[in-house]
């Protein structure tokens, strides 16, 4: 993320807290310094009062250029008009100084979640939401256990590729906690939940003497 703030002490405090929370932080002390860094940022923390240009006018220029990076504006206390104006001009959120670091982090993480495209595997009518660990078939949510979901997602990542039970155990269970029967059991449960016809499954195929694969489309 990019931190645009002219006060060095505030910037340092923010940077340390953000890095501690696992974020990579770029810094700029002015609008001019921020401009070339904007494209690389996933989210921008933008101070209202900068030495060379108001933060909100930098925001205007960003939006004019079609840069839709989420922006959280920082405003000083007692400038209620700033907040409204900032939001109206395209800020995604704002905080009034002084603020709690926890609140800033929570708001930034919410902005990032909204900005990131959801990770999804789609195979015909089957949609696997990898962030929510949810499976949807023809628009219906299929209740799966965590292992069932992981097994299905693992196979669905590479349709057509055959995996042995041992490979699936290692990939999905992580270590030899189960036996090859564990895999068979989970495939059986998955097929039942997905309403598979055992003689011609739509998704989960048995490859005799080898293991299982996710069926290739077409």
Q: Which is nearer to Ca ion, 47 or 82 (CB)?
A: 47
Taking the complex as a whole, the smallest distance from the CB of residue 105 to Ca ion amounts, in Å, to 20
Residues 77 and 96: beta-carbon distance below 8 Å? yes
The distance of closest approach from Cβ of residue 159 to Ca ion in the complex, given in angstroms and rounded to an integer, is: 53
Residue nearest to Ca ion (CB): 49
Q: Can you tell me whether residue 20 is helix, strand or coil?
A: helix
Provide, rounded to whole angstroms, the least separation between the CB of residue 49 and Ca ion. Answer: 4
Of the pair 22, 51, the CB lying nearest Ca ion is at 51
Beta carbon nearer to Ca ion, 89 or 147: 89
**Strand order through the sheet with 126-129:** 120-123, 126-129, 134-137, 140-142
Name the residue among 104, 127, 130 with its Cα closest to residue 116.
Answer: 130
For residue 53, the minimal CB distance to Ca ion (Å) is 11
Q: What's the closest the beta carbon of residue 57 comes to Ca ion, in angstroms? A: 14
Radius of gyration in angstroms for the set of CA atoms belonging to the chain, rounded to a whole number: 25
Using the minimum distance from each CB to Ca ion, give the nearer residue, 47 or 148.
Answer: 47
Task: Decide whether 4 or 187 has the Cβ nearer to Ca ion.
Answer: 4
Residue 111, judged by CB atoms within 10 A of its CB (0-12, 13-18, 19+), counts as buried
Residues at the interface with Ca ion (CB under 5 A)? 6, 47, 49
Q: How far is the CB of 34 from Ca ion (least distance, A)?
A: 12
Distance CA 21, CA 17 (A): 6
Q: Which is nearer to Ca ion, 51 or 117 (CB)?
A: 51
Using DSSP's 3-state secondary structure scheme, residue 147 falls into helix
Q: Which residues contact 128 (CB under 8 A, 6 or more apart)?
A: 120, 121, 122, 134, 135, 136, 149, 152, 153, 156
């Amino acid at each position: 993320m990019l931190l645009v703030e002219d006060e060095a002490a505030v910037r340092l405090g923010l940077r340390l807290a953000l890095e501690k929370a696992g974020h990579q932080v770029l810094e700029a002390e002015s609008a001019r310094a921020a401009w070339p860094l904007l494209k690389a940022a996933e989210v921008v923390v933008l101070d209202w009062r900068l030495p060379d240009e108001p933060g909100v006018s930098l925001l205007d220029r960003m939006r004019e250029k079609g840069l839709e990076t989420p922006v959280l504006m920082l405003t000083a206390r007692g400038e209620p008009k700033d907040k409204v104006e900032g939001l109206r001009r395209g800020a995604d959120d704002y905080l009034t100084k002084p603020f709690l670091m926890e609140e800033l982090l929570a708001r930034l993480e919410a902005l990032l979640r909204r900005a990131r495209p959801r990770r999804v595997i789609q195979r015909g009518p089957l949609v696997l939401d990898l962030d929510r660990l949810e499976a949807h078939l023809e628009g219906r949510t299929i209740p799966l256990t965590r292992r069932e979901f992981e097994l299905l997602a693992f196979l669905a990542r590479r349709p057509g590729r055959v995996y042995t039970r041992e490979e699936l155990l290692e990939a999905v269970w992580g270590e030899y906690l189960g036996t090859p029967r564990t895999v068979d059991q989970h495939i059986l449960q998955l097929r039942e939940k997905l309403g598979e016809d055992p003689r011609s499954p739509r998704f989960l195929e048995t490859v005799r003497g080898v293991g299982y694969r996710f069926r290739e489309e077409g």
